[in-house]
Amino acid sequence: MKDRMGMPVVATVSGLPDRVRIWEVGPRDGLQNESSIVPTEVKIEFVERLAAAGLPVVETTSFVRADRVPQLADASEVMERVRRADGARYPVLVPNLRGLESAVAAGANDVAVFASATESFAQRNLGRALADQMAMFTPVIEAAVALGFPVRGYISMCFGDPWEGPADPRQVADVSRSLLDAGCGELSLGDTIGVGTPGQVERLVDVLVDAGVTREQIGVHFHDTYGQALSNTLAALRSGVTTIDASTGGLGGCPYAESATGNLATEDLVWMLDGLGIRTGVNLDTLVATSAWMSRQLGRPSASRVTAALTGM
């Protein structure tokens, strides 16, 4: 039965921001782990629907090697053909200078790099030691900055690593500072395997601020493996963070960490933020319709509880 509420009751809470920027990662992080190749036309329509829902940032694709992430082998075509909404950002992930060159050729002007907070994940995902990862990223960041592009630095395993256990906040801070010093304008702290809890979130933000990272430079990226994504988001908001990553339909995972399940669902995030009276600019009805549409393309129900409640899927 379709939920008759339709929208949350608004009840504001002191100490939270008035506005939050949602960084939508569904088309890139959400789809990269799909086993069946999603048609290019569907990817393009997904991006365009998300922007039409009012999302200010729609991370569109990743210019990685096709043999590593076959799902995103059509990155250039997607980037070239997407109709861009006025005022929206369409960042792409670039792992190296070759990826940056391909992204620029396809019309990208907003990029991100992907670092690790732990030794084990650096070795598995990047093929190099943690201490050496900036040698890979610094030329990419500097080249993108020289082109006038905004550059985001993702950091994986900020709360826990399946091979090492709990992450050291000071190590996360060191990687954060290295990325900012190289030219990144903002960061995304990833709970890649979804093990973080609210106290960890608040502690990590405090450690980063003590290391000279501003709250305005911090974004958070929570996976919902242990059902903690929304509670961790609320903790981040209380800590002054105003950029939240999310994936429509809860799509996503990580192809290099088997215990990483889906991302925080954008619809669930918007429901909570709407209920708190926090502005996002996102139309929940349009977003839910997009999630339901995408779930039909993938042949399975949306993982978003809000979409399930509002559509009866």
- For 133-157, what is each residue's pLDDT tens digit? 999 999 999 999 999 999 999 999 9
Which residues have C-beta within 8 Å of that of residue 9, sequence separation ≥ 6?
A: 275
Handedness of CA 116, 122, 127, 128 (dihedral sign): positive
Residue 252, pLDDT score: 83
Residue 261, pLDDT score: 59
pTM for the whole structure: 0.95
pLDDT over threshold 80, residue 254:
no
Residue 73, pLDDT score: 96
> Which tops the pLDDT comparison, 204 or 6?
204
pLDDT over threshold 70, residue 75:
yes
**Positions marked catalytic:** 254
Residue 4, pLDDT score: 55
pLDDT over threshold 80, residue 260:
no
- The pLDDT confidence band at residue 212, using thresholds 50, 70 and 90, is very high
pLDDT over threshold 90, residue 125:
no
Which residues have C-beta within 8 Å of that of residue 287, sequence separation ≥ 6?
A: 50, 53, 54, 55, 248, 266, 267, 270
Domains with residue ranges and CATH for the chain: 21-311 (3.20.20.70)
pLDDT over threshold 60, residue 218:
yes
> Which tops the pLDDT comparison, 5 or 104?
104
3-state secondary structure of 219: strand
pLDDT over threshold 70, residue 257:
no
Contact 158, 204 (CB under 8 A): yes
In this structure, are strands 165-166 and 160-161 parallel, antiparallel, or unpaired? antiparallel
Contact 30, 58 (CB under 8 A): no
- The pLDDT confidence band at residue 122, using thresholds 50, 70 and 90, is confident
Average pLDDT over residues 10-18: 96
HEC sequence for the chain: CCCCCCCCCCCCCCCCCCECEEEECHHHHHCCCCCCCCCHHHHHHHHHHHHHCCCCEECCEECCCCCCCHHHCCHHHHHHHCCCCCCCECCEECCCHHHHHHHHHCCCCCEEEEEECCHHHHHHHHCCCHHHHHHHHHHHHHHHHHCCCCEEEEEECCCEECCCEECCHHHHHHHHHHHHHHCCCEEEEEECCCCCCHHHHHHHHHHHHHCCCCHHHEEEEEECCCCCHHHHHHHHHHCCCCEEEEEHHHCCCCCCCCCCCCECEHHHHHHHHHHCCCECCCCHHHHHHHHHHHHHHHCCCCCCHHHHHHHCC
Residue 237, pLDDT score: 98
Question: Tell me, what amino acid is at 285?
Answer: D
Residue 279, pLDDT score: 98
- Other Cβ atoms less than 10 A from the Cβ of 144: the count is 25
> Which tops the pLDDT comparison, 121 or 293?
293
pLDDT over threshold 60, residue 63:
yes
